[in-house]
């Protein structure tokens, strides 16, 4: 298999369908729907026969529409090329971002839940909103999540952002109304060995306040001074945000 059948719907950030959007070789209809047919090929590869493994599958299908940022559907599976005929990949809804897309930051944060990671010196904070993985179906948003994981998980990513001995630091934020309360739940997990002694995970539940404009955010979190302060919004999307500390 060179490509499974891929189908989905392209919409803008207000959930309006985008017609005549090019997805691979296809165009979306008036309802934003598209279908890319399955593609297969014949090949005799001795290495595959001897190794008894299916070939890899790598699919890259560009998404293009005038007035919108370019995006791309990518599918990779190390042995996915061995799938039988009739394979399908349903992308569901893909959100295409307009060029110079504007955001109402207070409305984006109000009554919502996010996860937060920060750099060693806490000069940069990355936030991902609950539902990020369901929203992120294309290449444009994947690098941001990888960067976020590098700030929060030394064990999985091999990064060294966390203090020595700590393998994960998970911080959940639950924002209330504008200029209101934010509830915070932080869990820190530590290295475990057979020899021990091992430190048990610790949990901190606290709260603070937040205030935002479309350019800046002020956070005041009790007991977690590292993530308190004034920040510039240096990158934002529906389910992701990058904050840079103001000096």
Give the pLDDT confidence score for residue 116 in this predicted structure: 98
Q: 62 or 192: whose pLDDT is higher?
A: 62
Task: Express each pLDDT in 36-86 by its tens digit.
Answer: 999 888 766 555 555 556 788 888 999 999 999 999 998 877 766 777 888
Give the pLDDT confidence score for residue 78 in this predicted structure: 73
Q: CB under 8 Å, gap of 24 or more: what pairs does 100-108 form? A: 101/13, 101/69, 102/214, 103/214, 103/236, 104/214, 105/212, 105/213, 105/214, 105/215, 105/217, 105/233, 105/236, 106/178, 106/212, 106/213, 106/214, 108/236, 108/238, 108/241
CA–CA gap between residue 114 and residue 24 (Å, rounded): 33
Over residues 116-126, mean pLDDT: 97
Lowest mean pLDDT among 9-13, 124-128, 193-197: 193-197
CA–CA gap between residue 80 and residue 88 (Å, rounded): 12
Give the pLDDT confidence score for residue 220 in this predicted structure: 96
CA–CA gap between residue 171 and residue 8 (Å, rounded): 33
Q: Does the domain formed by 105-245 have CATH 3.10.450?
A: no
Over residues 161-188, mean pLDDT: 93
**217 φ/ψ sector (left φ>0, alpha ψ -120 to 50, else beta):** beta
CA–CA gap between residue 244 and residue 49 (Å, rounded): 53
- Could you give the percent of the chain with pLDDT greater than 90? 72
Task: Express each pLDDT in 19-33 by its tens digit.
Answer: 999 999 999 999 999
Q: 234 or 78: whose pLDDT is higher?
A: 234
Residue 140 has pLDDT above 80, yes or no: yes
Band the pLDDT of 157: cuts 50, 70, 90: confident
Give the pLDDT confidence score for residue 77 in this predicted structure: 78
Instruction: Note the pTM of the prediction, 2 decimals.
Output: 0.86
- Could you give the percent of the chain with pLDDT greater than 70? 94
Which of the following CATH numbers is that of domain 5-95: 2.60.40.1120, 2.40.50.100, 3.40.630.30, 3.40.50.280? Answer: 2.60.40.1120
Over residues 13-18, mean pLDDT: 96
Residue 137 has pLDDT above 80, yes or no: yes
CA–CA gap between residue 245 and residue 29 (Å, rounded): 44
Burial of 24 (0-12, 13-18, 19+ CB in 10 A): buried
- Which candidate, 70, 124, 116, places its Cα nearest to that of 94? 70
Question: What residues pair up with 90 in beta bridges, in sequence order?
Answer: 7
| Helix residue ranges, H only, the chain | 46-51, 105-109, 132-135, 142-152, 154-157
- In the chain, what are the domain boundaries? 5-95, 105-245
């Amino acid at each position: 298999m060179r490509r499974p059948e891929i189908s989905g719907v392209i919409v803008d950030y207000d959930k309006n369908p985008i017609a005549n959007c090019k997805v691979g070789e296809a165009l979306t209809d008036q309802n934003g729907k598209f279908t890319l047919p399955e593609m297969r090929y014949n090949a005799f590869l001795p290495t595959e026969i001897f190794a008894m493994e299916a070939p890899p599958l790598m699919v890259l299908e560009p998404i293009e529409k005038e007035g919108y940022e370019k995006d791309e559907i990518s599918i990779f599976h190390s042995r996915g090329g061995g799938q039988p005929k009739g394979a399908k990949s349903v992308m569901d809804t893909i959100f295409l971002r307009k060029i110079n897309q504007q955001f109402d930051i207070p409305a984006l944060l109000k009554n919502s839940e996010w996860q937060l990671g920060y750099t060693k010196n806490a000069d940069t904070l990355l936030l991902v909103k609950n539902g990020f993985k369901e929203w992120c179906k294309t290449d444009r948003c994947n690098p941001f999540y990888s960067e976020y994981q590098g700030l929060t998980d030394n064990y999985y990513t091999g990064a060294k952002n966390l203090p020595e001995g700590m393998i994960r630091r998970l911080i959940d934020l639950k924002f209330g109304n504008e200029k209101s309360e934010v509830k915070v739940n932080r869990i820190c997990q530590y290295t475990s060995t057979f020899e021990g002694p091992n430190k048990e995970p610790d949990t901190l539940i606290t709260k603070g306040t937040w205030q935002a404009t479309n350019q800046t955010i002020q956070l005041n979190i009790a007991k977690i001074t590292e993530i308190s302060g004034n920040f510039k919004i240096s990158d934002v999307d529906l389910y992701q945000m990058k904050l840079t500390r103001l000096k």
